[in-house]
Amino acid sequence: MPSWSTPAPPAEQRRRYTPPVDPLDRATLALERALGPSVVDTDPTRCEPFARDESEAEGVTPRCVVHARTSDDVSVILRHCEENRVPVFPRAAGTGRSGGATAVVPGVVLDLRALSQVKELDRENLLAVVEPGVVTGTFHALVEAEGLFYPPDPQSAETCTLGGNAAENAGGPRAFKYGVTREYVLGLEAVTMGGERLRAGRRTAKGVTGYDVTGLLVGSEGTLAVFTELTLRLVPQPPLVCTLQALFATVDDAGRAVTALVGRRLVPRCLELLDTLCCQLLREAEPSLLPPGDCCMLLLELDGEHPEALERDASRLADACLHAGARSVHLARDEAERARLWAVRKRMSRALRARAASKLSEDVVGPRTRVPELLSRARAISERHRVVMPAYGHAGDGNLHVNFLWDDPADKPRVERAIEALFRATLDLGGTLSGEHGIGVLKAPFLPWEQSPALIAMQQRLKSVFDPSGCLNPGKIFPRPGHLGC
Amino acid sequence: MPSWSTPAPPAEQRRRYTPPVDPLDRATLALERALGPSVVDTDPTRCEPFARDESEAEGVTPRCVVHARTSDDVSVILRHCEENRVPVFPRAAGTGRSGGATAVVPGVVLDLRALSQVKELDRENLLAVVEPGVVTGTFHALVEAEGLFYPPDPQSAETCTLGGNAAENAGGPRAFKYGVTREYVLGLEAVTMGGERLRAGRRTAKGVTGYDVTGLLVGSEGTLAVFTELTLRLVPQPPLVCTLQALFATVDDAGRAVTALVGRRLVPRCLELLDTLCCQLLREAEPSLLPPGDCCMLLLELDGEHPEALERDASRLADACLHAGARSVHLARDEAERARLWAVRKRMSRALRARAASKLSEDVVGPRTRVPELLSRARAISERHRVVMPAYGHAGDGNLHVNFLWDDPADKPRVERAIEALFRATLDLGGTLSGEHGIGVLKAPFLPWEQSPALIAMQQRLKSVFDPSGCLNPGKIFPRPGHLGC
């Protein structure tokens, strides 16, 4: 069994499997012949950046990068890769945070950015048909110009793609009210290893015909099939939005506010938290962004149809925050003010990156009510392992981005122990390892911490149904024997 | 390959498979030994009702009905059935409309009604942990008493169970605003053939750890595994509800109203339609229910937090209906009035049943904007095949319950031709064969009309991952070779 092959192909296939002399050369040649050299790039310098994504996961320079132009190209590529049993790594913008697009072994990278057409926008039935390479932010602008709304809004919306979002089942701040990508993919066309096209799902609001293959493929991190078309559900765009910033002395106060406002049946579309260390680092980076003095921040956003209703909910939100001990609540009604408040949240990631040579961001999820406990455990871990660990994220969903900052590469082992301690704490509290980044390469070794051997084996058998030889995006999700992670 | 086995087990398994002398007797004996005779009922008279569900699908009296008390019982039952290679038919209330719980061949019926505990209700994290036999209506009352809300509301809510709802991915009128069962199942425990327990999913609002096995099992119609526990997402209960009844001269006017109000960004929680024939039959059954004269009805329901917002939306709904040509719009503010309006919709099914010796209800779905076209095609089919076909349903989702009424058994072939014509029309318009009833037995022969051979084969391979011998709820979803339906 080739070391990159995961999951282990069934025994009879291993027996059938005879490694070709140089499968990669054979595949590359076949692809050049089939698609032309302009589509198949073998230049090592140009291929090198396709080794990794925006995570810390290590990759190797692929033998070639194939820039697919059409779903036929995708079919041809997956046929030749399967015939030659070479690993293929599908990717679009490569903005993933868990190494899902990383080329972990020499192979073929399948670049889907050129499949970037919005094929259809059906205003009356509230749906769109898109290719996987459409940039999410571009799509937001397009549908909003029509009075429609596509809620999933990952932090990287300006650069990431709808295909990548579907592969990782991306979320974002608005998930608290609107749910994640999975709730918006009605149907899709995907190509499986070997090049077979598969149409699954529907164009209608409801449908229960057969198994939910669409839902299975969404969030499968490019390990089951490659999306070539997505049918997305849209909703009417809420005309009114207002944003609140609440500052608290402690994260426990902020946590109490979150529980209290949910208890009051308030459902802001966003409910973001920045812990004390985040606010401190932000203030150091840009003093104008925050008032002096230690604080922890909740950023809340409401949307709706009715001005009075929005006003009342806004004051109920403010009230819930003040009762929970907020020092100040700032309500932004106009766009400029809203932008200023969001700037704080949006600069977070960059501000942290600027603080240290290395930064890793985990996206653990705890039960909403246990967010303060999860944060205090994170603080204890930070002290015990002497790692700087600012945390922020989607408090309404209990989804925290706990960051790990370090400068000296020699500190990496300590960081890894801290990450493991965070994962243990998350699972102790009844949480899950990933809310929106996926498992990819970085969390694969920890999958058994959350899931039973029976469930993992079941998922590997599901993978084999789509990809018997294990050539599609190998090394992702499932821990490899003897593999201890990045 | 035994005639009931579906999907076809892979060749190597067919070779391995040697039918035992009397597998059913052996399984029954083993179950009696393991669970005691009080749990395993072999009395033919008492077993007979377990042959079928509430659909027209034919069944055979099972050899025994096992009344599971715990998830351990379920594990024992599935182990013995697998060891003896006998078909097992899981069921709870048996209220299904597509034959999903029908015992299509002699076998063991697994009755889950006694697994009816609500194990946990977490008010702050908005979730509940339940057993599959909890009656949906009982659960509604329980969570609403706590100010919480569980939106899925199938017509049979007073008798159907949460486990059956999850197996069929049930919807109901409120799905237009709140979505279907799948959106509310966060995680589950299920038992696979052979008796292995599988825990999938999560307790948190978000989570993307591994494949969405939970989503794959929801809507799999009891063909992959048997649910023993469900973790359900709840939402805050909307305190205000108001209901409107709009009467139109023609169904086209009603259809225009639906498109218009969606265009105005109105999202009532229910948007039900009763066609002209339904209204006529209702009036004949209970003259007091409707004013004289031909009409077609929209029943709309709004919910929310803010009286003014609700008032305004209600008047905007009324306005949209009147602009589309509504003859009258009736707004019900108090409970008594609301109940009176809903009575019309709730008596529909019974009124139709009373009209003919036989009644079949299909639940096709078309794109929302094409509902009027789907209804006019249904009328043409009704005339061509001389079958009485009243239609009602969830117009907001494009999900119509087209009924077929006949008295003389000799008319059945004509009815079947009419049903086939309706399915063709639905697919022509870009729709799907089932919105909430599932494929079960009745629609299995038509699956290939909607889905490609590649997609069907893929789903059969997925079934084999969970149930290699094909003993779990055989004869459902997938067409059997040479099998032309009920």
Work out the minimum CA distance from A138 to partner chain B, whole angstroms: 22
State mean pLDDT over A237-253: 95
Structure-token pair, residue B51:
């042959």
Q: Let me know whether B268 and B311 are in one domain.
A: yes
SS3 for B474? coil
Q: Let me know whether A46 and A91 are in one domain.
A: yes
Any A CB within 8 A of B399 CB: yes
Residues of A within 8 A of B312 (CB-CB) are 306
Residues of A within 8 A of B432 (CB-CB) are 202, 204, 206-207, 209
Q: Where are the beta strands (DSSP E) in B237-311?
A: 240-248, 270-274, 296-304
Write out pLDDT tens, residues A282-298.
999 888 888 888 999 99
Q: Let me know whether B219 and B245 are in one domain.
A: no
The enclosing H or E element of A421 equals helix A412-428
Write out pLDDT tens, residues B428-481.
999 999 999 999 999 999 999 999 999 999 999 999 999 999 999 999 999 875
Domain boundary among A77, A94, A111: A111
Structure-token pair, residue B201:
């999913």
Radius of gyration, CA atoms only, chain A: 23
DSSP letter string over A27-68? HHHHHHHHH-TTTEE--HHHHGGGG--SSS------SEEEE-
Any A CB within 8 A of B410 CB: no
Q: Let me know whether B125 and B192 are in one domain.
A: yes
Q: Let me know whether A144 and A180 are in one domain.
A: yes
Instruction: Look at residue B389 and tell me if it is in a domain.
Output: yes
Work out the minimum CA distance from A364 to partner chain B, whole angstroms: 9
Q: Kindly list the distances between the CA atom of residue B257 and the CA atoms of A239, B299, B309, in Å, as whole numbers in the listed order.
A: 22, 12, 20
- Name the pLDDT band for B14 (thresholds 50, 70, 90): low
Q: Let me know whether B220 and B128 are in one domain.
A: yes
Write out pLDDT tens, residues B58-110.
999 999 999 999 999 999 999 999 999 999 999 999 999 999 999 999 999 99
Mean pLDDT of chain B: 93
- Name the pLDDT band for B172 (thresholds 50, 70, 90): very high
**What contacts B482, CB < 8 A, 6 or more positions away?**
none
Any A CB within 8 A of B180 CB: yes
Residue A10 confidence (pLDDT): 55
Pick from B203, B209, B451: CB nearest A451: B209
Q: Do A465 and B458 touch (CB under 8 A)?
A: yes
Instruction: Look at residue B229 and tell me if it is in a domain.
Output: yes
Number of folded domains that form chain A: 4
Q: Let me know whether A288 and A327 are in one domain.
A: yes
Any A CB within 8 A of B48 CB: no
Radius of gyration, CA atoms only, chain B: 23
Instruction: Look at residue B468 and tell me if it is in a domain.
Output: no
Q: What angle do CA B49, B50, B51 make, to 5 degrees?
A: 90
Q: Let me know whether A271 and A182 are in one domain.
A: no
Q: How far apart are CA B14 and CA B1, in angstroms?
A: 6
- Which bin fits B153, alpha (ψ -120 to 50), beta or left (φ > 0)? beta
Instruction: Look at residue B9 and tell me if it is in a domain.
Output: no
Q: Let me know whether A149 and A226 are in one domain.
A: yes
Work out the minimum CA distance from B51 to partner chain A, whole angstroms: 23
DSSP letter string over B58-125? -----SEEEE--SHHHHHHHHHHHHHTT--EEEESS---SSSTT---SS-EEEE-TT---EEEEETTT
State mean pLDDT over A70-87: 97
- Does position A342 have pLDDT exceeding 60, yes or no? yes
DSSP letter string over A295-337? -EEEEEEEEES-HHHHHHHHHHHHHHHHHTTEEEEEEE-SHHH
Q: For position A401, which CATH number holds?
A: 3.30.70.2740
Q: How far apart are CA B209 and CA B232, in angstroms?
A: 18
Residues of A within 8 A of B394 (CB-CB) are 206
Q: Do B397 and A204 touch (CB under 8 A)?
A: yes
Q: How far apart are CA B262 and CA B277, in angstroms?
A: 25
Any A CB within 8 A of B10 CB: no
**Which DSSP category does B394 fall into?**
E
Q: How far apart are CA A281 and CA B25, in angstroms?
A: 72
Q: For position A226, which CATH number holds?
A: 3.30.465.10
Work out the minimum CA distance from A459 to partner chain B, whole angstroms: 7
Instruction: Look at residue B165 and tell me if it is in a domain.
Output: yes
Write out pLDDT tens, residues B18-54.
544 789 999 999 999 999 999 999 999 999 999 999 9
State mean pLDDT over A435-463: 97
Determine the residue among B127, B176, B203, B209 to mutate to test chain A binding: the one whose Cβ has the most chain A Cβ atoms within 10 Å. Answer: B209
**Residue B403: strand pairing partners:** B361
Long-range contacts of B125-129 (CB under 8 A, 24+ apart): B125/A367, B125/A368, B125/A369, B125/B203, B126/A262, B126/A368, B126/B233, B126/B234, B126/B235, B126/B236, B127/B186, B127/B203, B127/B231, B127/B232, B127/B233, B127/B234, B128/B231, B128/B232, B128/B234, B129/B229, B129/B230, B129/B231, B129/B232
Determine the residue among B75, B120, B211 to mutate to test chain A binding: the one whose Cβ has the most chain A Cβ atoms within 10 Å. Answer: B211
Residue B475 confidence (pLDDT): 96
Q: Give the other-Cβ count within 10 Å of A461's Cβ.
A: 17
Write out pLDDT tens, residues A148-200.
999 999 999 999 999 999 999 999 999 999 999 999 999 999 999 999 999 99
- Does position A346 have pLDDT exceeding 90, yes or no? no
Structure-token pair, residue A251:
């994260």
Q: Let me know whether A244 and A342 are in one domain.
A: yes
Instruction: Look at residue B7 and tell me if it is in a domain.
Output: no
Q: For position B66, which CATH number holds?
A: 3.30.43.10
The torsion of the CA quartet B182, B304, B344, B379, rounded to 10 degrees, works out to -60
Residues of A within 8 A of B313 (CB-CB) are 305
Domain boundary among B215, B236, B257: B236
The torsion of the CA quartet B405, B407, B411, B414, rounded to 10 degrees, works out to -10
Residue A484 confidence (pLDDT): 34
Minimal CA–CA distance to B282: which of B254, B258, B312, B247? B247
- Does position A19 have pLDDT exceeding 70, yes or no? no
Chain A to chain B Cβ contacts (< 8 Å): 261
State mean pLDDT over B271-289: 92
Q: Let me know whether A160 and A67 are in one domain.
A: no
- Does position B289 have pLDDT exceeding 90, yes or no? no
Residue B244 confidence (pLDDT): 97
Residue B10 confidence (pLDDT): 55
Instruction: Look at residue A469 and tell me if it is in a domain.
Output: no
Mean pLDDT of chain A: 93
Q: Let me know whether A125 and A207 are in one domain.
A: yes
State mean pLDDT over A46-68: 96
State mean pLDDT over B339-362: 89
More confidently predicted of A66 and A350: A66
- Does position A5 have pLDDT exceeding 50, yes or no? no
Q: Which residue of B has its CA nearest to A395?
A: B205
Residue A16 confidence (pLDDT): 58
Residue A350 confidence (pLDDT): 84
- Does position A303 have pLDDT exceeding 90, yes or no? yes
Q: How far apart are CA A14 and CA A32, in angstroms?
A: 29
Structure-token pair, residue B11:
């060749």
Q: In terms of residue numbers, what domain contains B183?
A: 118-236
- Does position A65 have pLDDT exceeding 60, yes or no? yes
Residues of B within 8 A of A220 (CB-CB) are 211
More confidently predicted of A346 and A154: A154
Q: How far apart are CA B397 and CA B177, in angstroms?
A: 9
Residue B345 confidence (pLDDT): 86
Question: What percent of chain A clears pLDDT 90, i.e. is strictly above it?
Answer: 86
Q: For position B254, which CATH number holds?
A: 3.30.70.2190
Q: Do A207 and B394 touch (CB under 8 A)?
A: no
- Does position A34 have pLDDT exceeding 90, yes or no? yes
- Name the pLDDT band for A483 (thresholds 50, 70, 90): very low
Domain boundary among A111, A146, A163: A111
- Does position B5 have pLDDT exceeding 60, yes or no? no
Query: Angle of helix B335-353 relative to helix B276-285, nearest 10 degrees?
Result: 100
The answer to whether B435 and B171 have CB atoms below 8 angstroms apart is: yes
Instruction: Look at residue A18 and tell me if it is in a domain.
Output: no
**pTM of the model as a whole:** 0.94
